[in-house]
Each structure stands twice: as structure tokens, then as C-alpha cells.
Amino acid sequence: MPRQKVYGKRSRAIYDLNGANISSPDQPCEKPTTKTTTVKQIDVPVRANEARKREKKSERPALGERQNNEVVLPLEVLRYAEADATPKRIPRAKRNNRVVLDSDEENETFTPRRSPRRKQALQHTEVKVCDSRSPKKAVKERLVDDRGTQQCGQRNPPAREHVAEKEKQAQDEQTQQKSANSFDQHCSPLLDLTIHPIGCFESWSTQLSSHFSINKIAEASFGEVYRLSLLEAIPDICRSDESVFKIIPLRAPSSTLPTDKRKRKAALTKQEMMSKPEDVANEVKLLQRMSAIPGFTNFRDMRVLQGRPPEAFSTAFKAWNAEQKTKKKDLSHFPDPSKKASYSEDQLWAVIEMQDAGNDLELMVESGECTSIWTVWDIFWQVVLSLAKGEEGAEFEHRDLHLGNICVRSSPPTTTTKDPLDPARKLGFSAQETTIIDYTISRCLMTSPSNPSIAYTDLSTDPALFEGDSTDEYQYDIYRYMRGVLYGDNAFAEIHHYSPKDLAATGRTWEQYHPQTNLVWLHLVLYKLLEQLEWPSAMKAPSKKTRKVEWRAWKRANDLEHVLLKVQELLDPGAICTNEIWSAGDLVLLALCEGWLDAQDVIGHAEGDESALVSQLEGLELR
């Protein structure tokens, strides 16, 4: 509340009425006596002599002497004391900004009218300070000295600035508490999924940096992926035990945004590329749900952090950008975290920790590691098997399965690599293991079918997702194909002309289970892999008589190539939903029927029961 107005200058001196009435031991006061004064006309010389006699009656104190009961007075009072020491005639109108009363003109010596308290205080200020410095500076230092050496028995009231500071501190604490409550409430969908409260980004990063190096390895639509690598090898920890972090900037509570219209608009524009806490919570639930299914990422932890990105992450960001520039690729679409304008001091982050599943498939393709028919075969069918088990166990649809969302890690060749010449082997010719990641817009059944709870993202509210230019990137066509097969079982359906009313008339929504969307993304994966393939059929056949082993390997490679070309026809966007293949599970059953895969490959990958697959095979009809 505003401070009450005080008219006039209030003295900060401590006034003790009892102490003021007691004279100094060195100079006892005379007892007041009643004296009758007769007014008579006195000449000017006589009046001056009388004044000098009165001055001699009181002893002058020694230079620099201070009385025991002397109190500290503000500079204003000291100036009045100096004015009394040199009396002079002052004009009637105003003297020292004070109006002069008529009765004051009767006295030759001018004495300003003061309150009794101030008048008594002035009795103790006749001592002048001797100092070679300026008078004002000397007086100020004396005041400072006296404040720290007041006499015993006098109370030292709290200074106004200290009171104001405490009040401001209390208000700041209340504001911080209110702001913290706003952040907690805003992030409650995420905080309900973790045991960690909102933490400090800087402190968390400092703890990591003491044991791990931090490197940025990828970007998603709404987040960045960083890998932690041990600075020193630990015997019981291998690379598969290391973690990757997906760091997602979150939108701020509306109550914490600036109130100024221009600044608020700028803040809202900046937050358009950030995620809502409830959307990230949906992804975390999917991660927790799919962790138990082979071929999906192993979720470890999630926490909410606050603050600007620390130096370790800023350095990793710049290194990744420099590498992208060297490869002549697009730089990060996220702002530079080292610039203060990029993020505010109270920026919120969702940090999702997962097991390190290796490098993404897109990076492998760019580095030329996917040219072998054995590698292409293993990667493609492992992805198909993972999707099929996700469909069977959780009615899963990925809906964004580009190469960047498939991770590949090399496993020890002694345990996974199989002889390509062994006719009993149908899978595992290379040392590659795949993992499906990033379920930002995925859909799955969270609970049992009898009590369904669906995690999904309504993509009908994000038309921009289906408006990308496919001139340079075929992936943008896949989003449109996915929408076509969902609403009309036709990848080339002109759904973009549909109004919301027309879409509702189809009776289909993004919440429903439509596994044919997985086939569209499998088409993209196979298409990209075959682009890199060194075709076995283009190689000259070795001599069957003189080089039997090489000829058998060439023959097996050509057989696998022929199968992949047939699958490519089945997954052509125009053929999807027209050939009795409606899901990844159907494609796996076809592979078992045709002998492309062995039941042991499927069972071993899914750790399931073969009888369930056999029963589905019996009812499958293929055109």
C-alpha cells in the first residue's frame, strides 16, 4: 500500500524527551525563574551591548566538543543551526523558504519558528566540525558515524529503505510462488507421469557434464535429440546402456506471458513451434506403453526442466549445425540456444530419456551403408515385424515413420549374423538391429479393448502437415497418401478438397484404428532403401562350375532382390487397400505363406506363440 504523506521534512534523529531535559554533566542547567520584564525604548547601541552581555553568560564549548546527550540531526536542521550562528536581516516575504510572521520583526536577531522538538534538538548542535574536507561531506560522514555509535538506551528504529526492501522481498517471494504454482499447474499432465518436480536446466546439465559428453545427433519436428557418451569407460556399462535425450521446448502458461500487446504477440509467435504439455504427455504415455514390445524404443525416464539451455547443449547445437553446413544440408530450424533472445529465463522443457538405439536410418543411407542386399533385407523386414507386433499388441499406428524415426545399431556378429548360403536362414544376414522411435503423432490402445483408452493426435486440426512440397522430398506426399487411405481407402483421394462436414460424413476419424496407414510408411521405407541398393541382378554371375560358393551367394542375393521387388508392388500407393493387405501384420503373414520368412524368425523377434500365427495364416486370402 502507498506510504502516507508527511508534510515537511521529518527528522530521522532519535529524540528522548527525558534525556533532552537533563543537562550535560559538564554544563548544568539553571533553574528556571519567573522574571517580570518591563518593555521600554532602548537605543540601538545599548541594545547591542545587552546582547553581547547575554552571550558571555554561557560558556562556549570547546572546538569539536560533543555533549553526552547529543543526538543526530538531519542536514536540514544543521543548516538552520548555521543560519542562527550568523544572524542577519532577512526580507519579510520569505527567508529560507519559510514565511516570516509579523511578530518576528520586533527582534533584531532572526530565529526561525520551529517545533518544540526541533528547537530542543538544536540546543545540541552548536559544535562545529573541523575538517579539511567540504562541510557537507564532513557532516554526512559524521551522520554515518553517529548512526553506528548511538548511546545505550536509545532504540534504533528500522530504516525506511530496509523496510521497503523487506516489503519488496516479500512481494517478490509471493510473485515467485504464484509463478511456480502456475508452472506446476501448466505442466501437470507431464508431472503426473514422473517423480521429478520441475528442475533447473543448468544444474541438471552440470551433473551430466561431469560424467558424459553431449552431442546432438538428430532433429524431430518439435524437438532435438542429444546423445550422452561416457567420458571414461566403466566396466559394467556398454554402449547399449547409454542414453539419448529428446529435448522438447514447451509453451508457457498464458498467465506468464507479457501484458504488453506487442511483446505478447511476439511471445505467442515464438511459441507456435513449441509443444503443449498435454501433447508431450501423450507421447510419453505411448513410449511407456510400447517399451515392452520388441523393436520399439526402451523408455527410461522423463522430467521437466526450466531455464535457458546451458553451455554444453549450446556447444553441441553449434557443432551439429557446422556439420550440416559441411554436408551442404539444411541447418537447424530451431533457434540458437546460446542467444538470449531465443529462449526466456523461465523457458520450460520436456526431457525424455531413452536407451541409445544407434544412428538413424537416414544417416546410414547418406553415408552409403545401405547398399548391400543383406542389409536392406534385414532392416526392412525387422521394421515390418516391429510394426506387426505393435498392431497386434496395442493397435499401433506410427503415422510418421520416415527414415529419421528408425534407428539402426550394429550387434555382435557372432550372435546375429547368419550364413547367407544356409537355405534354412531367412532373416538376420547382417549385424543390424532396428528400433522404431518418435511417437509424436502416433496412435495406440493404452488399455484393454473392453475398457479402451486411446492415445492419438487429431491430425485434422493440422492441415499444414499435408501441404508440404514434395519436389525435393517424397516424404511430404506420404502424409497425403496416409490421409487418403484413412478417409477413403485410396491413397490418391482428393481429401484436401473435403470440408470438415465432408470428412465427418466418411464416419472415420484419427482416433479410430486404421492400420493401412502403416503400409503407406512401409512403402516409403522400402522405396528409400531400394534407391541405395546395388542390385545383384546388375552384377555379372560368377562361374557355377569354378566358383560354386560365389555363385550360390549371387543366386541367393538375386532371390532376395526378386522378393523385395514383389513387395514393392504390393506396397505401391495405388495398390494399398486393393489386394487384401491391410496392415503390417497381413504382410508378415504373406511372408510366412510365401516362405520369405520363417516362423522362428517371427516368433523369436516377437517372443510370442506360433499357434496364433498359424490360425491367422489359415484365414488369409491373397489376390
* C-alpha to C-alpha distance for 246 and 243, rounded to whole angstroms: 10
Query: Are the beta carbons of 365 and 411 closer than 8 angstroms?
Result: no
* Sheet hosting strand 243-250, strand order edge to edge: 199-200, 299-306, 348-355, 243-250, 224-230, 212-219
186 grid coordinates: 501448466
Amino acid at 292: A
CA 542 vs. chain centroid, Å, equals 60
Q: What is the CATH number of the domain that holds 214?
A: 3.30.200.20
Query: Are the beta carbons of 350 and 304 closer than 8 angstroms?
Result: yes
Q: How confident is the model at residue 152 (pLDDT cuts 50, 70, 90)?
A: very low
Residues 344 and 427 in one domain: no
One DSSP character per residue, 506-573 reads: TT--TTS--THHHHHHHHHHHHHHHHH---GGGSPPPPTTT-HHHHHHHHHHHHHHHHHHHHHHHT-T
For residue 149, the model assigns a pLDDT of 46
Residues 223 and 186 in one domain: yes
For residue 166, the model assigns a pLDDT of 72
Domain limits for position 512: 360-623
Per the model's pLDDT, the better-predicted residue between 34 and 353 turns out to be: 353
156 grid coordinates: 534504533
513 grid coordinates: 484404428
Q: What is the mean pLDDT of residues 94-117?
A: 46
Grouping H, G, I as helix, E, B as strand and the rest as coil, residue 455 is: strand
The residues facing 228 across adjacent strands are 214
CA distances from 292 to 53, 189, 284, 382, 389 (A): 109, 22, 14, 16, 11
CB within 8 A of 290, min separation 6: which ones?
Answer: 296, 297, 299, 390, 394, 396, 439, 444
**Could you identify the residue written with the cell 541398393?**
533
Q: Is residue 303 part of a domain?
A: yes
Query: Are the beta carbons of 435 and 406 closer than 8 angstroms?
Result: yes
Q: Is residue 552 part of a domain?
A: yes
For the entire predicted model, the pTM comes to 0.67
For residue 459, the model assigns a pLDDT of 93
Q: Is residue 167 part of a domain?
A: no
Per the model's pLDDT, the better-predicted residue between 174 and 473 turns out to be: 473
Count of helices and strands (H, E) across the chain: 21, 13
184 grid coordinates: 506446476
For residue 99, the model assigns a pLDDT of 44
Whether residue 364 has pLDDT greater than 60 = yes
CA 243 vs. chain centroid, Å, equals 20
Question: Quick one: which of 368, 313, 314 has its CA closest to 338?
Answer: 314
For residue 607, the model assigns a pLDDT of 45
Q: Which of 356, 377, 401 is the last residue of a domain?
A: 356
Q: Domain total for the chain? A: 3
Query: Are the beta carbons of 290 and 296 closer than 8 angstroms?
Result: yes
Query: Are the beta carbons of 437 and 608 closer than 8 angstroms?
Result: no
Grouping H, G, I as helix, E, B as strand and the rest as coil, residue 163 is: helix
pLDDT 10s digits, 341-353: 999 999 999 999 9
For residue 112, the model assigns a pLDDT of 46
pLDDT 10s digits, 219-236: 888 899 999 988 887 776
Residues 303 and 409 in one domain: no
Whether residue 500 has pLDDT greater than 70 = yes
Residues 62 and 184 in one domain: no
Q: Is residue 129 part of a domain?
A: yes
The residues facing 216 across adjacent strands are 226
For residue 59, the model assigns a pLDDT of 54
Q: Is residue 158 part of a domain?
A: no
pLDDT 10s digits, 520-569: 999 999 999 999 999 999 999 888 888 888 899 999 999 999 999 999 99
Residues 182 and 307 in one domain: yes
pLDDT 10s digits, 243-293: 999 999 999 998 888 888 898 998 888 888 899 999 899 899 999 999 999
For residue 392, the model assigns a pLDDT of 94
Give burial (CB, 10 Å; 0-12/13-18/19+) of 189.
Answer: middle
Residues 429 and 352 in one domain: no
Q: Is residue 5 part of a domain?
A: no
Query: Are the beta carbons of 354 and 303 closer than 8 angstroms?
Result: no
* C-alpha to C-alpha distance for 340 and 32, rounded to whole angstroms: 75
- Hey, how many other C-beta atoms are within 10 angstroms of the C-beta on 256? 15
Residues 404 and 488 in one domain: yes
For residue 605, the model assigns a pLDDT of 46
Query: Are the beta carbons of 260 and 269 closer than 8 angstroms?
Result: no
Q: What is the mean pLDDT of residues 462-491?
A: 93
Per the model's pLDDT, the better-predicted residue between 172 and 344 turns out to be: 344
The residues facing 435 across adjacent strands are 407
Q: How confident is the model at residue 477 (pLDDT cuts 50, 70, 90)?
A: very high
For residue 251, the model assigns a pLDDT of 95
Query: Are the beta carbons of 401 and 524 closer than 8 angstroms?
Result: yes
Residues 213 and 316 in one domain: yes
Q: Which of 356, 377, 412 is the last residue of a domain?
A: 356
Per the model's pLDDT, the better-predicted residue between 171 and 512 turns out to be: 512
CB within 8 A of 213, min separation 6: which ones?
Answer: 228, 229, 230, 231
Residues 408 and 350 in one domain: no
For residue 232, the model assigns a pLDDT of 80
For residue 541, the model assigns a pLDDT of 87
For residue 48, the model assigns a pLDDT of 56
Give burial (CB, 10 Å; 0-12/13-18/19+) of 384.
Answer: buried
One DSSP character per residue, 397-421 reads: B-S---GGGEEEEE--HHHH---TT
Q: Is residue 99 part of a domain?
A: yes
Amino acid at 277: P
Q: Is residue 1 part of a domain?
A: no
Amino acid at 106: E
Q: What is the CATH number of the domain that holds 566?
A: 1.10.510.10
Q: How confident is the model at residue 497 (pLDDT cuts 50, 70, 90)?
A: confident
Whether residue 615 has pLDDT greater than 80 = no
For residue 111, the model assigns a pLDDT of 46
Residues 69 and 206 in one domain: no
Residues 186 and 219 in one domain: yes
Q: How confident is the model at residue 211 (pLDDT cuts 50, 70, 90)?
A: confident
Q: Which helix (H) or strand (E) holds 434?
A: strand 432-436
Q: How confident is the model at residue 148 (pLDDT cuts 50, 70, 90)?
A: very low
For residue 66, the model assigns a pLDDT of 52
465 grid coordinates: 502437415
One DSSP character per residue, 309-363 reads: --HHHHHHHHHHHHHHHHTT----SSPPTTSTTTS-TT-EEEEEEEE---EEHHH
* C-alpha to C-alpha distance for 258 and 253, rounded to whole angstroms: 11
For residue 548, the model assigns a pLDDT of 87
Whether residue 617 has pLDDT greater than 50 = no
**Identity of the highest mean pLDDT range in 202-211, 419-428, 451-460, 613-622:** 202-211
Question: Quick one: which of 438, 411, 422, 420 has its CA closest to 377?
Answer: 420
Per the model's pLDDT, the better-predicted residue between 331 and 19 turns out to be: 331
Q: Which of 310, 337, 356 is the last residue of a domain?
A: 356
Give the end-to-end CA distance of the chain in Å, rounded to a whole number.
Answer: 83
Per the model's pLDDT, the better-predicted residue between 218 and 622 turns out to be: 218
What are the φ/ψ torsions at residue 201 (nearest 5 degrees)? -60, -45
Residues 193 and 109 in one domain: no
Mean pLDDT across the chain, nearest whole number?
A: 78
For residue 172, the model assigns a pLDDT of 66
Per the model's pLDDT, the better-predicted residue between 425 and 159 turns out to be: 425
